[in-house]
Structure 1
Amino acid sequence: MSLKERLAREIALTGPMTVADYVTRCLHDPAEGYYATRPALGAQGDFITAPLVSQMFGELIGLWAVETWHRLGAPERFRFVEVGPGDGTLMDDALRAARVAPGFLEACDLILIEPSGPLRQVQERRLSQADVSPRWVSSLTQVETDAPVILIANEVLDCLPARQFVRTEGGWAERRVGVTDEGGLTFGLVGISGGFDKPPYEIEPGQVIEISEQQAAFGRDLGALVHQASGAALLIDYGRDRPGPGDTLQGLWRHSKVDVLEKPGEADLTQWADFPAVLEAAIRSGADVTGCLGQGAFLRRLGIEARAERLSSARPASAPVIARQLDRLIAPDQMGELFKAAAIFSPRSLSVPGFEA
């Protein structure tokens, strides 16, 4: 029985499923979930991330980590953590760039947080020749707090789903996944009188708001980790930097958008990062936070244009490709503005690279 058939049967027995629960099942079902069985990254897969666009992205993140380490006092031991390392490209590039900093790699305890078995295997192959051997854990709460933490989370929040609520003429309703008479999956509305905090902004009838308990929990756990251990966590993702309505649920299959109900487990499902909710949760856990910057502005502050110029000078034949890669990463109509960067840090006196006032 396929995942789609199992979901339809479960919904028929227990009632309509929240959007968040549906997305979680599609991504992580042990037998047929997308990340559990068939994650497909890169040009030949279903989607491409910034580290796969250009080596410049991972290199600059590595140098960001080095500068953060220096600003923490260059501790003799620290945890270098990546959440959701994908195919390992970002960390591979970051560690290569970090070779310029004497003592950094020697002090580094490299931890990768990855629940997907297939992706762990890909990461292990990618990093088999790295200067630092990684170890894997499954959650933030498994990272020890007896040494400072420098953490990277690139395109992680968009994998943590949100429930969807709709303002109707008759009040609030939740959008849920139900079953048609023919046994297919469909969206419908279930009237509610409570169960969520109504937004502090105006919502017109028909508009959708998204509330992600998983993203808020991630911010809470990350804030607690950074507060207890000291250090900084860098979040980069596509999403909103201020509260507002919008249905952002989408399915990606072979770089094209698909019906999110059509291929459960076969397509990657995502929703926008809710930076305000994540950062607020981190603050409640005792950490401090920066504001959000567009990815383009953040990478410019880290020196990506100078890096692109050096690469082009060293490899003139590749200059047009490097220019296109640079444009993809920082242009406003590419990844430059939709993607945001923010940091969670402790102590308050720490100045986080790229976010200086």
Structure 2
Amino acid sequence: MNSRILRMCNKLLIQQTISRGYAFKAVKRPDPKTLKMPAPGTAPSIMQIIKEKIRLNGPLTVAEYMHIISTNPTEGYYMKKEVIGEAGDFITSPEISQLFGEIIGIWFYSETQKMGPGKPLQIVELGPGKATLLLDILRVLNCFDYKPQDLSLHLVEISSTMQSVQANRLCISHREVDIALPHNYEGETVSGIKVYWYNDLKKVPTNFSWYIAHEFFDVLPIHKFEKTDDGWRELLIDLDGQDKLYYRITAEETASCKSLIRPPLDSGDRTELEISARSLGISRQLATRVDRYGGIALIADYGHEGEKGDTFRAFHKHKVVNPLENPGQCDLTADVDFSQLRIAASKSPYSDNYALVMGPVKQKDFLERCQAQIRLQVLLDNAKSDEDREKVQKSYEMLVDPQKMGERFKFMAFYPSVMEELLNKHPPLGFSTPKS
């Protein structure tokens, strides 16, 4: 009896299992190659997007707010216009003087000689701007007899607008590539150097490389925290009764509080804290790549060593403005906390070694230790007029003046952990005082 019932149940179950297959329907997915962005002017504004997200999901973290404004495909700040230069919202050191990029190129070449010939070479820049820094570095490498077959350029860039600017400045020809490839764009310089663009550092080949991150980390999204009587709480962005954005502090610990605020980041008597999870992750990536596959990473940005807590702001037409007003029209930025980058990248005493971290040092000290004054004198001697000489001198002063960029901007470098003994004997250029 029991066996007959069991056979009947099995038969029913088998029939049900088979019949369930008819509930599924084949769906044709859209071809990514045919997908197009909305026409200009037809997409919702950044403010509309932010308001709708807040209404649907509640207040935004500062990191979510920054991410939307920076990377929205149609209305994002970096996606729709050139933002660097006199006509933009800010200007960078390579745009101020060719001396800056040339010194960076000489520094990389000099430090690479401690490792070997440094060929073949990948130059990887994160957020290359208008590609001015790369052009200056390539001019230096040409003097050191690097041939087109000796190197390739790998640019990590999420903005199609800036990608176009970079391609037009660097390449004699350039084109889109198949979506299946790790890079999304490619080209060649007039001398035949191959150039590739990526939307993520993880997709860049893991070969011996020079990694450059100049004014890159300062725009990565941050979480903002304040210390209360009940412990650390996160600052969020919400809408008030007049439909305007404002800051509010959470009553309870958020997931970001629990995952990001750990010793020693919260040490001392700090009452405000800014942490970029993205920055910590990329710092670790750079350190791991350098340590495992060889090369050097150089970070140059304005920042501090853990003494500041509230640096989030916006720039519009070279002036500081309220970051919660006119979202999408201003450059959102926060000072880089170099102490956090050091923690994320430093060699550890455990099984996983990362990188030897040098710095940070002030931009003024780095350039002067690399003997930038010698290059300055050459540029002054070759200037064609008094007006040109004055321009060269003022540009250099802007880079090194403590009241301008000289102290606010800092440099940090990552070296392979196996170089510890060598660097003790031959200290890294720019991060130590040269012997007279």
Into which bin does the TM-score normalised by the smaller protein fall?
Answer: over 0.9
Output the CA distance in 2 between the equivalents of 1:49 and 1:191. Answer: 40
Larger radius of gyration: 2
Match among 255, 260, 272 for residue 208 of structure 1: 272
Asked whether 1:323 is paired with 2:393, we answer: yes
> Counterpart in 1 of 2:50?
7
- Which runs of structure 1 show a deviation greater than 6 angstroms over 4 or more consecutive aligned residues? none
Q: Which moved more, 1:160-169 or 1:77-86?
A: 160-169
Which amino acid in structure 1 is aligned with residue 400 of structure 2? I
Aligned partners of 2:122 and 2:299: how far apart in 1? 16
Contact 1:59 1:94 in 2 (8 A): yes
Q: Which moved more, 1:344-353 or 1:262-271?
A: 344-353
1:260 pairs with one of 274, 299, 323: 323
Answer yes or no: is the 8 Å Cα contact 1:249–1:270 preserved in 2. yes
| Contact persistence 1:92–1:127 (CA under 8 A) | yes
- Give, in whole Å, the separation in 2 of the partners of 1:138 and 1:70: 31
Q: Deviations over 1:74-97 (max 9, x none)?
A: 133121111110011110111112
Alignment partner, residue 34 of structure 2: none
Match of 1:355 in 2: 431
In 1, Cα distance between equivalents of 2:355 and 2:86: 37
Question: 2:336 aligns to what?
Answer: 273
Q: Is the 8 A contact 1:223 1:286 kept in 2?
A: yes
| Corresponding residue number in structure 2 for 1:197 | 262
Deviations 1:241-295 (CA, angstroms, capped at 9, x unpaired): x223421111111111111111111111001111111122112552211121101
Give the counterpart of 1:27 among 70, 73, 76.
70
Tell me the secondary structure at the aligned position of residue 105 of structure 2.
helix
* 1:1-357 matches, cutoff 5 A: 1-103=44-146, 106-128=149-171, 130=189, 131=191, 132-145=193-206, 147-193=207-253, 194-195=257-258, 196-197=261-262, 199-203=266-270, 207-240=271-304, 242-283=305-346, 286-315=354-383, 316-317=385-386, 318-349=388-419, 351=423, 352-356=428-432
Deviates more, 1:190-199 or 1:266-275: 190-199
> Where in structure 2 are there 5+ consecutive unaligned residues?
1-43, 173-188
- Between 1:344-353 and 1:44-53, the stretch displaced more is 344-353
Amino acid paired to 1:48: I
Q: Provide the rounded CA distance (Å) in 2 between the counterparts of 1:330 and 1:348.
A: 33
- Equivalents in 2 of 1:301, 1:262: separation in Å? 41
In the superposition, the TM-score normalised over structure 1's length comes to 0.93
Q: Secondary structure at the residue paired with 2:49?
A: helix
How many residue pairs end up in the alignment? 352
Which one-letter code corresponds to 2:317 in the other structure? R
Give, in whole Å, the separation in 1 of the partners of 2:337 and 2:268: 15
Q: State the 1:345 CA deviation.
A: 1.2
Query: Do the aligned residues in 2 keep the contact of 1:38 with 1:266 (CA within 8 Å)?
Result: no
Partner amino acid, structure 1, of 2:401? A
Q: How far is the alpha carbon of 1:172 from its aligned partner? A: 2.8
Deviation at 1:104, TM superposition (A): 6.0
Counterpart of 1:280 in 2: which secondary structure?
helix
8 Å contact from structure 1 (residues 231, 347) kept in 2: no
For structure 1, list consecutive stretches of 5 or more residues without a partner in the other structure.
Answer: none
Distance 1:164 1:269 in 2: 14
SS in 2 for 1:72: coil
Rounded to whole Å, the distance in 1 between the matches of 2:81 and 2:251 is 36
Report the 3-state secondary structure (helix = DSSP H, G, I; strand = E; otherwise coil) of the residue aligned with 1:96: helix
- Shifted more, 125-134 versus 300-309: the winner is 125-134
- Alpha-carbon distance in structure 1 between the residues aligned to 2:139 and 2:149: 13
* Amino acid across the alignment from 1:309: Q
Residue 332 of structure 1: SS of its match in structure 2? coil
Same amino acid, percent of matched pairs = 32
